[in-house]
Structure 1
């Protein structure tokens, strides 16, 4: 029997790249996204015995529960992997972004992950060696100017990941995340504005690079898995250095 994965934000970017990577490895997938028409088109020639598409607003707990219940009912009530990938971003000065947009970022990026974990818990608990992978970011290491609420949302995801990793280990559920720096995806490429940090660091990753990191998590999970050698080294340095050094580095990059 193939392993099962439920992926949010699966119609584009990292979610789609991960779905393709797992599908190629024989997994059975639930691909969930608010854009169901895109999902249907993208999976038109896939084996529909192994792929089920679900309309999903991750902020809607009832919708999340319904999709997971339906999918797991087809697979003995079990779920090997929940990949909480859905997320949004707005680059710009904090005061120039509307309160409604800040709220939307927190709702999707944070409550979407919480809703997914809550809805999936009984099915993960029923599955030996189950795994949750949350989509975090390099911006969870220090608040990034121009991405203030996005950074805040990823700090929340990082904290939730750490807490659930400890809470759920007694159920044999591993909870982890992936932490890439800037990735060339529609979410980033369609931004109307940029940020000094983005201009200085550049974009050197694509969705497939992050998908490979997610696959590595399914093989050998680390609570926080960095993506890219450069950021991995910076992350390790940040763990050993005083917070003031990280702050100085971010300030320099923001000039």
Structure 2
């Protein structure tokens, strides 16, 4: 940016937050109501995806859930039926792998057929998986698989969904689910965090681009979610990662789902679940739309002071693990026996 254009931009940057804050004080917009809307949820057979689907059904939405495992899908569908509000609600499940454009297109097409070919009004991208491991244990194949499981499983569905929404003139919502590890990362998540960072990059671009179509974009950054997926990842998670996460309280899928839906209804772009999430969000916001210019100043100040201290403590914990880690690598045959 040239210096002549920089001064007006700085003035605008100083004035705009005040204007936005005052407008929010005196003008309120109508909250998004899922009632009667068709909501499409990937990763909807368990965890936060299922919790979101249940919440949407309770709010009177038509809900389509998508996942790979047919058995879990049928159990999830039975759970959704318990919360049906009216006989008119269309509640269905579909078994597809959405980590490819073809799989995502088949899933969206199948869900649309139950609604006369009209694509869903809101897409919730909850599909994803974590496989914590040390970087030196990775292979090209594992790296590709992890990127497909984190980024691809959401990006391909978003591509198919947005094409249909634009084609049909549907002015709805795309809701991505990243992770607090999309703001920062630690040992063990070298192939998981990149995908979550990438989801943020995609959402940032689409949040701007989709103003052309009146399609709202949201992205959630939950921390630890006590779900079946979390239990599975803990079985392979490095000991040092478990040590660092000892003080992480975590959240239930239901709490995460409620927080995401409330964030959407408040029109938030970045949706965080807890205090730590807000600190990282405010500290790494860049030019992202702010949730609150007042509270973000507080969270940003906390982050400026506390996060470097936290990172130093994490690095100290990692270094204290060096001897044990080298022994682990020797047992794995990754490094040679010392002579």
TM-score (norm 1): 0.89
Determine if the alignment matches structure 1 residue 56 to structure 2 residue 56.
no
Counterpart position of 2:143: 102
Determine if the alignment matches structure 1 residue 253 to structure 2 residue 314.
yes
Structure 1, unmatched stretches of 5+, are: none
- The offset of 1:247, in angstroms, is 5.7
Structure 2 SS opposite 1:183: coil
Q: Report how many residues are paired.
A: 254
- Do the aligned residues in 2 keep the contact of 1:72 with 1:123 (CA within 8 Å)? no
Mapping of residues 73-222 of structure 1, within 5 Å: 73-76=113-116, 77-125=118-166, 126=168, 128-190=170-232, 191-192=234-235, 193-194=237-238, 195=241, 196-199=243-246, 201-222=247-268
- The offset of 1:249, in angstroms, is 2.9
Where relative contact order (Cα < 8 A, 6+ residues apart) is larger, the structure is 1
Structure 2, unmatched stretches of 5+, are: 1-34, 286-299, 318-339
Q: Give the whole-Å Cα distance in 2 for the aligned partners of 1:63 and 1:231.
A: 32
1:47-96 deviation digits (Å, cap 9, x = unpaired): 59521111111123222112212322332514221111100101221112
Q: Give the whole-Å Cα distance in 1 for the aligned partners of 2:142 and 2:254.
A: 28
More strand by share: 1
1:203-228 deviation digits (Å, cap 9, x = unpaired): 32111121012212431232211111
Q: Give the whole-Å Cα distance in 1 for the aligned partners of 2:73 and 2:194.
A: 29
Q: CA RMSD in A?
A: 2.4
- The offset of 1:251, in angstroms, is 4.1
1:77-136 deviation digits (Å, cap 9, x = unpaired): 142211111001012211124443322110121112111111111333335541111111
Name the stretch that deviates more: 156-165 or 134-143: 134-143
Determine if the alignment matches structure 1 residue 34 to structure 2 residue 68.
yes
